[in-house]
Amino acid sequence: MDRLRAVQVFITIVEQGSLSGAAEKLDMSRAMVTRYLSEMEQWAGVRLLNRTTRRLSLTSAGEGVYQQSLQLNALSQSVPVQQHQNAKELSGLVRISCSQSIAQSALSVAIAEFLQQYPNMMIDMHISNKSVNLIDERIDLAIRITNQLEPNLIAKPLSTCHSVICASPQFLKGKKLPNKPADLALLECLTYSFFGRSVWHFEKEGEQHTVLVDGRLSASESVFLAEAALNGVGVAMQPYYSVANYLASGELIQLLPDYRPMPLGIYGVYTSRQKMPTPLRAVIDFLANWFKTSPHWLALMHQGRS
């Protein structure tokens, strides 16, 4: 059987939550859907779904196969828009949701370049740190920074978010600098309010380190916490792309440079590959290429890995 087709059927089963739902979505018999699923499990060598009378759910092995399936299918769908035919003719509106930090540091540049290349296109940006419901909010594309993808959405990998632990010289004056992650527990740290008390994860030479941090100030947006760090309120974990200029100028000091905070994936998230509008495909293809080739972004990424 066609393995790529089996992958697509498996993804649809997970998205629809049932074999019958996938059969209806794909205009395919339930028996054929069952056959494709059986072939997927045979190729994987493991059971992919837990089946009950009420619902289907991914097994732990199935979750890994599902993420691999998403990536494989994304590759199969990633034929770029023909720029020489469509760039000046393509028109339409694409609604994009993202956080303030990625909007300010990256998308403000990327979308400006996109609109120059596509003079008849329109972009409606929704800047929020909340993970919005794409269907309810009528969002075409969400740019998300996460390691926990929602199984009912399609996610295209765009780049990686590297973070840094930093504080202002004003805050650090007279204090002993931390030399290991556990030392952060003794300092005033700036945390994300939707996480409660934050567990910060680090890696050094293949060894994992974690520390529970706390402080008097929390917020739901990293840009606010960066400003608080600049004003001497405490220690912040920030994306490199947000604070690169402050680190270069000395307004913020990097702490624990030998310990790397856990990186996060940057994804373009959307609801369906079925009959994807050409304007949305153009935006996704442009951003995928921009994050790989933009001198602006690559300079921030170089600083994040150095």
The predicted model gives 127-132 an average pLDDT of: 82
Q: Dump pLDDT digits (tens) for 288-304.
A: 999 999 999 988 876 55
Q: Distance of CA 183 to CAs 10, 178, 189, Å?
A: 46, 5, 11
Residues above pLDDT 70, as percent of the chain: 91
83-160+264-300 in CATH: which number?
3.40.190.10
Does pTM top 0.85 for this prediction? no
Task: Report, at the CATH architecture level, how domain 163-261 is classified.
Answer: 3-Layer(aba) Sandwich (3.40)
Q: Dump pLDDT digits (tens) for 71-117.
A: 887 777 655 555 444 567 788 899 999 999 999 999 999 999 999 99
Residues with Cβ within 8 Å of 25's Cβ and at least 6 positions away in sequence, in order, are 12, 15, 16, 274
At 175 the three-state DSSP class reads: coil
Q: Where in the chain is the domain with CATH 3.40.190.290?
A: 163-261
Q: Dump pLDDT digits (tens) for 217-255.
A: 999 888 999 999 999 999 999 999 999 999 999 999 999
Q: Where in the chain is the domain with CATH 1.10.10.10?
A: 3-76
Q: Where in the chain is the domain with CATH 3.40.190.10?
A: 83-160+264-300
pLDDT at residue 202 above 60? yes
pLDDT at residue 22 above 70? yes
Residues 98 and 207: their CA atoms lie apart, in Å, by 32
Q: Distance of CA 254 to CAs 58, 166, 188, Å?
A: 41, 4, 15
Fold of 3-76: Arc Repressor Mutant, subunit A (1.10.10)
The predicted model gives 5-32 an average pLDDT of: 85
Predicted confidence at residue 196, as pLDDT, reads 47
Which residue, chain included where needed, has tokens 């930090």? 101
Q: Which amino acid is at 236?
A: A
Q: Distance of CA 261 to CAs 50, 180, 200, 255, 264, Å?
A: 35, 12, 7, 11, 9
pLDDT at residue 128 above 90? no
